[in-house]
A and B are shown apart, each in its own frame.
Chain A
Amino acid sequence: MAEKDVIIGLEVHVQLNKLNSKLFCGCSTKYHDAPPNTHTCPVCLGLPGTLPVLNRRAVEYAIRVALALKCDIQGETLFYRKNYYYPDLPKAFQITQYDFPVGLGGKILIKGEDGEEKTIRITRVHMEEDPGRLVHAGTIDRAKYSMVDYNRCGMSLLEVVTEPDLRSPKEARSFLDKLRNILEYLDVFDGDLEGAMRIDSNISLVGGERAEVKNISSHKGVEKALAYEITRQRSARRRGVAQVQETRHYDELRGITVTIRTKEEAHDYRYFPEPDLVPMRIADWVPRVEAELPELPDAKRERFVSDYAIADDHAKSLTSEIRVANFYEDVAKRATPRLTAVWIADVLKGELNYRDVTIDRFRVDDMVEILDMIEKGTITEKGAVEVIRTILDHLGDPSEVDPAGVVEAKGLARAEDDAVKEAVRAAVKECSQAVADYRSGNEKAINFIVGMVMKKTRGRADPGEANRLVKEELERTGRA
């Protein structure tokens, strides 16, 4: 529920993990399955004498994102040093942006708590380098020692900062879902990789100081941490304890936030322009990047409604993930678009969510084949769901299963009409008690007879069709 006294703003760190190399050196970004400290070089380790060299593609990606978020692109952009000591930061400063970030003043539309579309303002989009990763022996507050992995060090990050426009944990979550969706559309980001998105949330109650809950990596975690904070800050206020400006850590296991430092301990980062990099005039890049900007979720949704004549709800569901949208279009080109929309949005997505897998687990060809069988009436809807489930539940090589094979193996082919009619005649003859009940006005008695038909056809008859045929048979035999 949107609560009038809750104020939330987010700082989202997005790893541009679709780039091939890091922000200031040539190290590969594909470190996720690599042993610690194997994707490093003198530059990202900050060895004495090394200098950063800006990855121009990263700047292009940043402009792409800033444009998609409707930001004003700055004419000239500049890097700064943010100075602080931390073991994951081998230079003891982070190269980031301060004045003159890539983009200022954008917005994202989300569905607000009241169901209406709501604008969340974006303050700025800026680039920076990712620090390394600390691995604590135990939890952060109790570890005896920590280890450092610099594989992540120097990865390109974008920081997307919002205005304090969010009013509930749920709105925060839908903002994050929408942002992720846009980033995936832009092909700059793979949200499935570990550490792809890390979120700092600022939350306060009207009239109170804010707490910053740092470094949460899942959207669900943000929602939970914010809900916890609202409860915590409310109860503190009831007890007369004033909230102080502080930084808190979210303990995912315990589902609580704990304080790390208060304002008095806040850093002075001593920002100053990075002398080893030159200012960049990016205004000239904008027309080209803009021309190459892919279709974004809202535009795609409108196009699906008009091009494929599908329901807006279906279009929204299909475009909420780029991979699902692409899958839909691939299938819709070869099947009836409306039927395709129903089966992907209402059935396939549910089955995927239930199993917590992505649409990459399903083949376009298989979906086309299933829809074809439905349209031709060679399988029932129930049978089609069974085929989808069987394919998704298959653990081995996906090429080992295909719709035709599943239909064959499970005997899901719709029974021939004659066989069904035969089963109907036999069922009506055998179920004399049910026939009598039906005729004396108990209409539900027909279900027993239909059940018998299904049994006789081993489920291959379409239940609706069987029902109709039983009624016909009852009428015919009643007249006699």
Chain B
Amino acid sequence: MLRDLKERLAAGASAEEMVSSLFEKIKRSQLNAYSNLSEDLALEEARKFDLAPCSGLLAGIPIAIKSSISTRGIETNCSSRILSGYIPPYDAHVIERLKEEGAIIIGKTNMDEFAMGSSTETSCFGPTRNPWDLDRVPGGSSGGSAAAVAAGEAPCALGSDTGGSIRCPASFCGIVGLKPTYGLVSRYGLVSYANSLEQIGPLALNVDDAALVLDVIAGQDLRDSTSVKSEGGYLAGLEGGVEGIVCGVPKEYFGEGVDPLVEKSVWEAISKLEELGASWKMVSLPYTKYALAAYYIIAMSEASSNLARFDGLRYGLRLGPDKDWHSTFSEIRAAGFGPEVKRRILIGTYALSAGYYGRYYLKALKARTLIKEDFERALSAGGADVLVTPTMPFPAFKIGERVEDPLSLYMADVFTVPINLAGVPAISLSCGFARGLPIGLQIIGRHFDEKVVLRTAKAYEDATPYHETVPKEVV
């Protein structure tokens, strides 16, 4: 897909026309995939490209950016009222990289407020709709990015994944989403929700495109102390098939709570991989049952600290005339945060409080270590090379269906959060349909073993038709 675009641009197609037709499409759309567009800048960049084409990996390619990734001069509000009007004076590392390779940023995509959700319903701009069924959620929190890519409102996009926020919407929207190993992509410029868990990653129409974007954004950045060097060459390393690859199938990821159609599709995918030369065996990740609890304690604790800075004093929401400092910032926070964000700040604050820290936060860290060891054991030498699971236990649900029941929404993350706790890479790609809705296959790898994950995904994609099925034109 991106290769086609690059070829068309190289053959003389106008980037400006490409970008303006995207903007027309976005403006006609009912999806609400974008929170704000960057029309003037994007068209200016496109015109520059048309006059003097540059040669980067993404030269002239339009890209959509999740609203939690800082873009110089383009509002970055995390779909929260409290950041309304906030225009960063700097670019995130990944944005610098995209620009260096010639990509054109077309706008910022809708998301769950501060990435807190799995449905894009907690956005202050209202929910994004699923291009496969407008009454359904696109997943979240990078729901805007996933819907835009699935509906052709952007050729590719960046999202961020704290507990599944790239893979869940990729699964619900039937596209490819990759959460890289913790540390592979610099977080500098990503508005923090839960620092120790999140990574920026690509959302794309196929594995090639995801690998190409990863080639651009991966690598060490001295401004993020947790980032490390990358070998690169992800696109170049895609071929080679799955001959000899051992797929682990964790027994805890099947059974109760999983839609039988989802299970069926995933088993078919495993058979397909076997057909392609891989082998499979059952493995166990025994601490999976503690993952959700540990994840939410850690994420909410970090969030309660990260979000404390939003007080309207230096940027973001302002209300009427100032009173004393304490009342002013309290009122701004009361008005600026939505209910889900408030819930998570309150729970996180509680979990870190004196007397509870040991019982919750420290305990969650211990559980995290055990979960990480689960993955290391299952993926150790002589064990599996990759793990294959459903991304989500069920396909996209209806808008509003779970909004009043946060726990059931948290439960939906059960197969994605352990991956963030362990810090390993995982990709979601389409492996079938249930009642007309896409089903996501999750392939998990060893730390920094993106190449094997991508190669497995590529072999599967080449052998199946699902990625070629697109939602009927959404207007």
Are B83 and A276 interface neighbours, CB within 8 A?
A: no
Contact with A along B342-353 (1 / 0, CB 8 A): 000000010011
Closest to B362 in A: A272
Q: How near does chain A come to B446, taking the closest CB pair, in angstroms?
A: 21
Closest to A46 in B: B309
Per the CB 8 Å criterion, the residue count for chain A at the interface is 29
Give A87 to B311 CA distance when docked, in angstroms: 9
Give A93 to B302 CA distance when docked, in angstroms: 12
Q: How near does chain A come to B36, taking the closest CB pair, in angstroms?
A: 16
- Interface residues in A46-89 by Cβ distance below 8 A to B read 46-54, 81, 83, 85, 87
Give the interface SS of chain A, mostly helix, strand, loop or mixed: loop
Contact with A along B57-70 (1 / 0, CB 8 A): 00000000000111
Note all chain B residues with C-beta closer than 8 A to A50.
90, 188-189
Interface: B119 (CB within 8 A):
no
Give A300 to B92 CA distance when docked, in angstroms: 51
Are A90 and B195 interface neighbours, CB within 8 A?
A: no
Note all chain B residues with C-beta closer than 8 A to A93.
305, 308
Are B314 and A90 interface neighbours, CB within 8 A?
A: yes
- Interface residues in A91-113 by Cβ distance below 8 A to B read 91-93
Interface: A309 (CB within 8 A):
no
Q: How near does chain A come to B76, taking the closest CB pair, in angstroms?
A: 7
Interface: B134 (CB within 8 A):
no
Interface: B88 (CB within 8 A):
yes
Give A290 to B98 CA distance when docked, in angstroms: 45
Are A48 and B195 interface neighbours, CB within 8 A?
A: no
Note all chain A residues with C-beta closer than 8 A to B224.
51, 53, 276
Tell me whether A272 and B352 are in contact in the complex, defined as CB-CB below 8 angstroms, given that A47-B88, A47-B90, A83-B308 are known contacts: yes
Contact with A along B31-42 (1 / 0, CB 8 A): 000000000000
Give the interface SS of chain B, mostly helix, strand, loop or mixed: loop
Closest to A92 in B: B308
Are A272 and B90 interface neighbours, CB within 8 A?
A: no
Give A276 to B189 CA distance when docked, in angstroms: 13
Note all chain B residues with C-beta closer than 8 A to A275.
195-196, 226, 302
Give A121 to B267 CA distance when docked, in angstroms: 67
Interface: A227 (CB within 8 A):
no
Are A54 and B225 interface neighbours, CB within 8 A?
A: yes
Per the CB 8 Å criterion, the residue count for chain B at the interface is 44
Contact with A along B212-233 (1 / 0, CB 8 A): 0000000000111110000000
Note all chain A residues with C-beta closer than 8 A to B226.
275-276, 278
Most buried by B among A48, A50, A52, A270: A48
Are A92 and B309 interface neighbours, CB within 8 A?
A: yes
Tell me whether A49 and B191 are in contact in the complex, defined as CB-CB below 8 angstroms, given that A83-B352, A85-B329, A278-B225 are known contacts: yes
Interface: A42 (CB within 8 A):
yes
Are A268 and B354 interface neighbours, CB within 8 A?
A: yes
Q: How near does chain A come to B16, taking the closest CB pair, in angstroms?
A: 30
Give A49 to B70 CA distance when docked, in angstroms: 7
Are B191 and A270 interface neighbours, CB within 8 A?
A: no
Interface: A277 (CB within 8 A):
yes
Note all chain A residues with C-beta closer than 8 A to B361.
272
Interface: B357 (CB within 8 A):
yes
Interface residues of chain A, those whose CB is within 8 Å of chain B, are: 42-43, 45-54, 81, 83, 85, 87, 90-93, 146, 268, 270-272, 275-278
Given contacts A47-B88, A53-B224, 9 further A-B contacts (CB under 8 A): A48-B191, A49-B192, A51-B224, A53-B225, A85-B308, A268-B353, A270-B354, A275-B195, A277-B225
Interface residues of chain B, those whose CB is within 8 Å of chain A, are: 68-70, 76, 78, 83, 86, 88-90, 92, 187-192, 195-196, 222-226, 301-302, 304-305, 308-311, 313-315, 325-326, 329, 349, 352-354, 357, 361
Listed by A's residue number, 30 A-B pairs whose Cβ atoms lie within 8 Å are: A45-B314, A47-B88, A47-B89, A47-B315, A48-B70, A48-B86, A48-B88, A49-B70, A49-B88, A50-B189, A51-B224, A52-B225, A53-B222, A53-B225, A81-B305, A83-B308, A83-B352, A85-B326, A90-B309, A91-B308, A91-B309, A92-B305, A92-B309, A93-B308, A268-B354, A270-B357, A272-B305, A275-B195, A275-B226, A276-B225
